[in-house]
Structure 1
Amino acid sequence: MADFDLVQFDLDGTLIDSVPQLADAISAMLSKLGLATQSVNAVRGWVGNGADMLVQRALTAALGQAPDAALQQQARSMFDEAYANHADGSLVFYPGVLSTLEQVRASGMRMALVTNKPYRFVPGILAAAGLGSHFELVLGGDSLAEKKPSPAPLLHVCRQLDISPARSLMVGDSENDVLAAKAAGMAVAGLTYGYNYGRSIADSQPDWVLDDFAGLASILKL
């Protein structure tokens, strides 16, 4: 028997490499503001804490100082408008993701998606990826009052699906995922290839460290 009944997945840096789309949207936002655009690699280091923080980090880099509240709000609106045109284009899945998700689905194990990305962008991405029906519950970073690293989203999923946190596995690529899972009392697998601010995911001490998404099959006893 598998040790888990439910797997909760992060999205960006775990299932898909969304940095190209995010970088395009950030560049469009900065250009519209008359500011210097930033590199894709810079944007890669800013992902993981939601759109507000991504925009703030981009503005701070371009300005040399933190933006005021009015500019932050204006820029966030511009980013959302730009990202809506880029979010579901040319999706890049990490190796092993699609085949492993199919294995999990075929096993009868339940799946949910918990991302810090604003929810409005998520259904279109899942539809474009052919994953619209894979997840029983999908939460964005603005779906609840708190987002990861708060355990609230993960615990909300467990309550909604009536599954104990002890029977749920979190799968993500950043310390936000690990911290949220530990605080929720659930096991967590950390992937080494995603966005973790230049630090090793092993530093956060997840229960498993995986270089390859397909390694989930052995953890889940598929």
Structure 2
Amino acid sequence: MPIDAILFDKDGTLFDFANTWGAFGRNVLLRLADGDNQRAAELGRIIGFDLETVTYSEDSIVIAGTVEEVAEVLVPHLPDMEHEELIDLLNVESASAPQVPAVPLAPFLKGLRDVGLKLGVATNDGEMPALEHLASAGIRDHFDFVAGYDSGHGFKPGPGQLLAFAAHVDVAPERVAMVGDSLHDLQAGRAAGMTTIGVLTGLAPAETLAPFADVVLPNIGHIPGWLAKD
């Protein structure tokens, strides 16, 4: 079945996860802990983040969870902070986190658009930070559709965002490819009836993604070559 549209996850897919979110995690945790390293390390363990090595565990809730889910896990350990207040802080902090592209994104996305593909982004991040990240990388205008967990379509692994994209660009789901670095992305793609492409610029290894992926690629830069073979 030909592919007429591609929907990308954001973190770990368009942007390299470890290089983008390591410093963010450290900075946010130290802020929440008022600069206390031991307290920040304790908060880090709760969300699967090692403050010393500035790395996330493969099962960290930060990788595929929504901001609300991350806040829900942290807020019981922050007695002076309300859930909504923590969500707002995480959204503001994440919106300003410097993004490290997985590949040179502008020419890559232009190449896809030049061959007629419709493009979108579906992320479990908030819509506001997502738009900020795309704009900061100079690629916002390459996308026909951008949805966060708070855009009204649900969030992954549910298929709502994916089906909303297909409807928005008027392409049947079976002619759409969902690209992501986590099981949430690929499970959502399968639930929506789309082709699923796993990439290794997140934290999940190929053997974790393979059962839910039609193909696993090193990064999104390999997609045009794979499509050409199809």
Structures share fold, TM-score greater than 0.5: yes
TM-score by length of 1: 0.81
Contact 2:179 2:198 in 1 (8 A): yes
**1:57-76 Cα distance to aligned partner (Å, 9 max, x none):** 4x3xxxxxx828x9597255
Q: Which residue of 1 aligns with 2:69?
A: 53
Match of 2:217 among 210, 218, 221: 210
**1:62-102 Cα distance to aligned partner (Å, 9 max, x none):** xxxx828x959725523532552453343211135443222
Match of 1:31 among 12, 16, 33: 33
User: Secondary structure of the residue that 2:86 maps to in structure 1?
Assistant: helix
User: Secondary structure of the residue that 1:81 maps to in structure 2?
Assistant: helix
Percent identity reads 26
- CA–CA distance in structure 1, aligned partners of residues 55 and 70 of structure 2: 13
Q: Which residue of 2 aligns with 1:74?
A: 82
**1:103-152 Cα distance to aligned partner (Å, 9 max, x none):** 11222211011111011212211111101101011100111252110011
More helix by share: 2
Question: Structure 1 residue 186: deviation in Å?
Answer: 0.6
- CA–CA distance in structure 2, aligned partners of residues 193 and 12 of structure 1: 9
Distance 1:170 1:82, change over 3 A: closer
Contact 1:26 1:55 in 2 (8 A): no
- CA–CA distance in structure 2, aligned partners of residues 214 and 201 of structure 1: 21
- Segments of structure 2 that go 5 or more residues without pairing to the other structure are 45-50
Q: Which residue of 2 aligns with 1:129?
A: 137
Question: Structure 1 residue 187: deviation in Å?
Answer: 0.3
- CA–CA distance in structure 1, aligned partners of residues 91 and 160 of structure 2: 26
Contact 1:22 1:83 in 2 (8 A): no
RMSD: 2.9
Q: Which residue of 1 aligns with 2:95?
A: 87
User: Secondary structure of the residue that 1:125 maps to in structure 2?
Assistant: helix
- CA–CA distance in structure 2, aligned partners of residues 119 and 77 of structure 1: 17
2:3 is the counterpart of 1:4: yes
- CA–CA distance in structure 1, aligned partners of residues 95 and 31 of structure 2: 14
User: Secondary structure of the residue that 1:36 maps to in structure 2?
Assistant: helix
Of 172-181 and 96-105, more deviation after overlay is shown by: 96-105
Distance 1:31 1:214, change over 3 A: same
Of 20-29 and 140-149, more deviation after overlay is shown by: 20-29
- Segments of structure 1 that go 5 or more residues without pairing to the other structure are 60-65
Distance 1:145 1:32, change over 3 A: farther
TM-score by length of 2: 0.79
Give the 5 Å matches for 1:1-222.
Answer: 3-16=2-15, 17=17, 18-20=20-22, 22-24=24-26, 26-32=28-34, 35-37=39-41, 38=44, 39=51, 40-42=54-56, 45-46=60-61, 47-57=63-73, 59=74, 67=76, 71=79, 74=82, 77-78=85-86, 80-81=88-89, 83-196=91-204, 200-221=207-228
